[in-house]
Amino acid sequence: MSETTAIPEIRARAAEKKSPRGKTFAEHALVQLTIVRFLETLREPEALFWIFAFPILLAAGLGLAFRNKPAEVLKIAATSRAITQSLQREKLLAVQQMDSHDAEEALRTGKIALLAVPGENGAVTYRYDDTNPEGRTARMLADRAVQQAAGRVDPVHASDEILREPGSRYIDFLIPGLIGMNLMGSAIWGMGFTVVDARRKKLLKRLVATPMPKPYFLLAYLLSRILMLVLEVGIVLGFGAWIFHVPVRGSLLSLAAVCLIGSLAFSALGLLLASRARTIEAASGLMNAVMLPMWIASGVFFSAQRFPDVVQPIIKALPLTAAIDALRANMLQGANLVQLGPQMGVLAVWMIVSFVLALKLFRWR
Amino acid sequence: MPAASSNAALRVTGLRKAYQDVVAVNGLDLEVRAGECFGLLGPNGAGKTTTVEICEGLTVPDSGEVELLGMHWSSEAEQLRQRLGIQLQDTQLSEKLTVHETLRLFRSFFDQGPGADEAIALVQLEEKKNSRVGNLSGGQKQRLALACALVGDPDFLFLDEPTTGLDPQARRQLWDLIEQFKSSGRTILLTTHYMDEAERLCERVAIMDNGKQIALGTPRELIASICAEHLVAFSAGAKSQSLDLPALRKISGVRDVRSEKGTVEMQVTELHLAVPALLAELTRQNIPLTELSTHSATLEDVFVSLTGRHLRDE
């Protein structure tokens, strides 16, 4: 064994080699871990679909379905010629004259909202369903037309000025909801699946066997999330602003702050959910169990106010509710960071508690 | 540092580790000398991987002590990590990264060592430099795993079953690479259940079974310890029932005879005398041979002679 090296010699060599020439920025472990994480996400076509294409498709579809149409013309019918003529004065009503058999049929099948039938001495009877808003509106419009035709003069002269402003439509409500949902989904899935997959493949164990500082690994996840964040929020927001003219009334800076703290809170939650699971199935069940209630209760698609008052405090404490409320307040009402304080606070608490717990529970192998 | 330890790169004393109801390592002592390639041999479940992972600082032993490069995991973990090259059993590196990206990442954890390109050249993966890990063959993946272990220019290299599951050509290629690393004077601890691998690469081997060391020495010493240079195996077909085994033991130059599933295995010192004598004896017993083979004794035969079992009982 001519090559035998004694231990003191090895230690000396180690000391001598340890005159690092200094690493460039790109050679730093944290930078490398972040780059690698980012590349892995970009090379996952399915993930890219869910992060980028899905919210846009959803926004486009729902935006079309619930677009505000010009005030609708209501279809009604009358069985006498005189009433038909009086009703035609009202531009918001489309009046048809029918014989009573056809008219009854049309009313029953919902083809018309109201049927006006002449009574004795020039009286009129309106037949309609009072639980149907269209029926009630038709009743008001039809009666006004009939009364005015009979000579009624309104004591006050009124005129209309029509305003259709962005900010109060369904799409304006929806886009912040979708951004919030996307923040949650991409952070929790992005964290959860990749961490559990790396654990399953023993890649975590391999990394722990290197001198890699462990916090760097988790930090790199958060940093690469912030990189992705710029893209994923930017695309949905840009799409909403460009196609639907969804307003952003608050400052972009506070919007960025909301997105950042929201994404970090969800990432921490994702890390917590993935901190122990050894299989994708276990992690995925856990993640869905956590996210599903929030999809429903946190007001992505409809206002969270619809739920009973008793559960409102719980709903308000959910991170997705806080994120979406803050996004809506910023985009639609122009709220500043001070006004968003409560929501930011809720997100900060979720972030800190989840991250601390995740660090405690995290299993590297 | 006591003078006695100056030549031991790794010293393990009284190591014990139990999982729930299985005792994986049961009072193990080991010493790996600086500059040697030391083989830890044994069947699956012998406790090799647990031992190695304790030495690598990945598993905490129930009791016992590990001194590695003169340092201890409890106090000098960070310095130790910088000095070690580790290849774990069945790690799957990220499939979406390229060979170069993977090595650049691993290199970033170490203070010094070859660059990513240099490491790629070291394991001859130049033409796969920009391929995704997911597109590599099994042998190429193992070479990449080896390169990941080498990027820190380690003084001590742990290889846990580096060639398991590889085809013969890929195994030989990996052996060449390990021999190259050896020739630079660094220390290697290698686990394997391939005896040919240990014979080819290791200066000394320890054979483990049931969490304990059952033999230690150079491959040559261990083979010599069973006092037989050759193994003769024959099969007598249907007539093997009527075989007179004690008579075979009396043939000169025969050390041991064992019969298993119709095949008789004999440990033999002088092949040129034993074989004619065996043929004569079989003729006398009127038993026809259906098969006869001989081979030089290997570490596998050492294991069989020590435990009565083959290394891989499939």
- pLDDT by residue for chain B (314 residues), tens only, comes to 344 445 789 999 999 999 888 889 998 999 999 889 999 988 888 888 899 999 999 999 999 999 999 899 988 888 899 999 999 987 889 999 999 999 999 999 998 888 899 899 888 899 999 999 999 998 899 899 999 999 999 999 999 989 888 888 888 888 988 888 888 888 999 998 888 888 889 999 999 888 889 889 998 888 888 777 788 888 877 777 778 888 888 888 888 888 877 788 888 888 888 888 888 888 888 888 888 888 888 888 888 878 777 766 54
Supply φ then ψ for residue B16, to 5 degrees. -145, 135
Tell me how close the Cα of B36 comes to any Cα of chain A, in angstroms. Answer: 7
**Does A206 contact B91 at a Cβ distance shorter than 8 Å?**
yes
Per the domain annotation, does A5 fall within a domain? Answer: no
Last residue of a domain, one of A117, A149, A181: A149
Complex-level ipTM: 0.81
Same domain (yes/no): B220, B231 = no
Q: Shortest CB distance from B108 goes to which of A9, A27, A43?
A: A27
Domain interval for residue B82: 3-224
Closest CA to B176 of B139, B151, B230, B141: B139
> Is B67 within 8 Å of chain A by CB?
no
- The more confident residue out of B259 and A327 is A327
**Spatial separation of the C-alpha atoms in residues B139 and B131, rounded to whole Å:** 14
Q: Shortest CB distance from A36 goes to which of B56, B97, B153?
A: B97
Same domain (yes/no): A178, A245 = yes
Please report residues of B whose CB lies closer than 8 A to that of A40. Answer: 94, 96-97
Please check the confidence at residue A3 and state whether its pLDDT lies above 50: no
What pLDDT score was predicted for residue A21?
56
Same domain (yes/no): B74, B134 = yes
Same domain (yes/no): B280, B197 = no
Chain centre distance of CA A318? 14
Question: Between residues 43 and 102 of chain A, which touch chain B (CB distance below 8 Å)?
Answer: 43-44
Per the domain annotation, does B305 fall within a domain? Answer: no
**Spatial separation of the C-alpha atoms in residues B40 and B48, rounded to whole Å:** 7
Please check the confidence at residue A96 and state whether its pLDDT lies above 80: yes
Same domain (yes/no): A173, A115 = no
**Does B91 contact A211 at a Cβ distance shorter than 8 Å?**
no
Same domain (yes/no): A143, A281 = no
What pLDDT score was predicted for residue B4?
45
Q: Which strand (E) or helix (H) includes residue B273?
A: helix B271-285
**Does A3 contact B35 at a Cβ distance shorter than 8 Å?**
yes
Same domain (yes/no): B63, B210 = yes
> Is A7 within 8 Å of chain B by CB?
yes
User: In sequence order, what DSSP letters do the residues of A52-80 get, joined into one string?
Assistant: IIHHHHHHHHHHHHTPPPS-PPEEEEESS
CATH number of the domain to which B231 belongs: 3.30.70.980
**Spatial separation of the C-alpha atoms in residues A236 and A240, rounded to whole Å:** 6
Same domain (yes/no): B260, B201 = no
> Is A198 within 8 Å of chain B by CB?
yes
Tell me how close the Cα of A353 comes to any Cα of chain B, in angstroms. Answer: 28
Q: Which residues contact B232 (CB under 8 A, 6 or more apart)?
A: B265, B266, B268, B271, B274, B275, B278, B292, B293, B294
Same domain (yes/no): B155, B119 = yes
**Does B34 contact A28 at a Cβ distance shorter than 8 Å?**
no
- The more confident residue out of A4 and B199 is B199
* Probe site for chain A from B94, B153, B180 (most A CB atoms < 10 A): B94
**Spatial separation of the C-alpha atoms in residues A332 and A179, rounded to whole Å:** 14
> Is A16 within 8 Å of chain B by CB?
no
- The more confident residue out of A104 and B6 is A104
Same domain (yes/no): A230, A85 = no
Please report residues of B whose CB lies closer than 8 A to that of A13. Answer: 155
Same domain (yes/no): A272, A294 = yes
pTM above 0.90, yes or no: no
Per the domain annotation, does A22 fall within a domain? Answer: no
Per the domain annotation, does B250 fall within a domain? Answer: yes
User: For residue B149, is it left (φ>0), alpha (ψ between -120 and 50) or beta?
Assistant: alpha
Same domain (yes/no): B159, B32 = yes
CATH number of the domain to which B205 belongs: 3.40.50.300
**Does B86 contact A209 at a Cβ distance shorter than 8 Å?**
yes
Please check the confidence at residue A20 and state whether its pLDDT lies above 80: no
What pLDDT score was predicted for residue B56?
92
Same domain (yes/no): A42, A125 = no
User: In sequence order, what DSSP letters do the residues of A254-278 get, joined into one string?
Assistant: HHHHHHHHHHHHHHHHHHHHTSS--
Per the domain annotation, does A192 fall within a domain? Answer: yes
**Does B69 contact A7 at a Cβ distance shorter than 8 Å?**
yes
Question: Between residues 267 and 306 of chain B, which touch chain A (CB distance below 8 Å)?
Answer: none
CATH number of the domain to which A121 belongs: 3.40.190.10
Same domain (yes/no): A213, A247 = yes
Please check the confidence at residue A150 and state whether its pLDDT lies above 90: no
Per the domain annotation, does A195 fall within a domain? Answer: yes
Scanning every residue of chain B, which has its alpha carbon at the shortest distance from the alpha carbon of A42?
B96
> Is B155 within 8 Å of chain A by CB?
yes
Q: Which residues contact A313 (CB under 8 A, 6 or more apart)?
A: none
Per the domain annotation, does B304 fall within a domain? Answer: no
Same domain (yes/no): B106, B150 = yes
Same domain (yes/no): B186, B271 = no
Tell me how close the Cα of A283 comes to any Cα of chain B, in angstroms. Answer: 19
Domain interval for residue A138: 74-149
Q: Measuring CA to CA, how many Å separate A44 from each of A37, A82, A185, B100, B141?
A: 11, 69, 15, 19, 21
Q: Which SS3 state, helix, strand or coil, does residue B174 take?
A: helix
What pLDDT score was predicted for residue B1?
38
Same domain (yes/no): B97, B122 = yes
Same domain (yes/no): A144, A225 = no
Same domain (yes/no): A282, A181 = yes
What pLDDT score was predicted for residue B245?
82
Q: Which SS3 state, helix, strand or coil, does residue B113 take?
A: coil
Same domain (yes/no): A89, A57 = no
Tell me how close the Cα of B117 comes to any Cα of chain A, in angstroms. Answer: 14
Supply φ then ψ for residue B35, to 5 degrees. 90, -5
**Does B58 contact A209 at a Cβ distance shorter than 8 Å?**
yes
What pLDDT score was predicted for residue A41?
86
Residues A256-265, mean pLDDT to the nearest whole number: 93
Last residue of a domain, one of B190, B224, B258: B224
Provide the pLDDT confidence category of residue A162 given band limits of 50, 70 and 90.
Answer: low
Same domain (yes/no): A226, A129 = no
Average pLDDT over chain A, rounded to an integer: 85
Same domain (yes/no): B124, B237 = no
Q: What total of structural domains would you count in chain A?
A: 2
Per the domain annotation, does B307 fall within a domain? Answer: no
**Does A201 contact B91 at a Cβ distance shorter than 8 Å?**
yes
What pLDDT score was predicted for residue B219?
86
> Is A203 within 8 Å of chain B by CB?
yes
**Spatial separation of the C-alpha atoms in residues B193 and B298, rounded to whole Å:** 13
Q: What total of structural domains would you count in chain B?
A: 2
Per the domain annotation, does B151 fall within a domain? Answer: yes
Please check the confidence at residue A326 and state whether its pLDDT lies above 70: yes
Scanning every residue of chain A, which has its alpha carbon at the shortest distance from the alpha carbon of B9?
A7
> Is B180 within 8 Å of chain A by CB?
no
Provide the pLDDT confidence category of residue A16 given band limits of 50, 70 and 90.
Answer: low
Per the domain annotation, does B75 fall within a domain? Answer: yes
Same domain (yes/no): B256, B189 = no
pLDDT digit string (tens) for A28-58? 899 999 999 989 888 888 878 887 888 888 8
Same domain (yes/no): A263, A119 = no
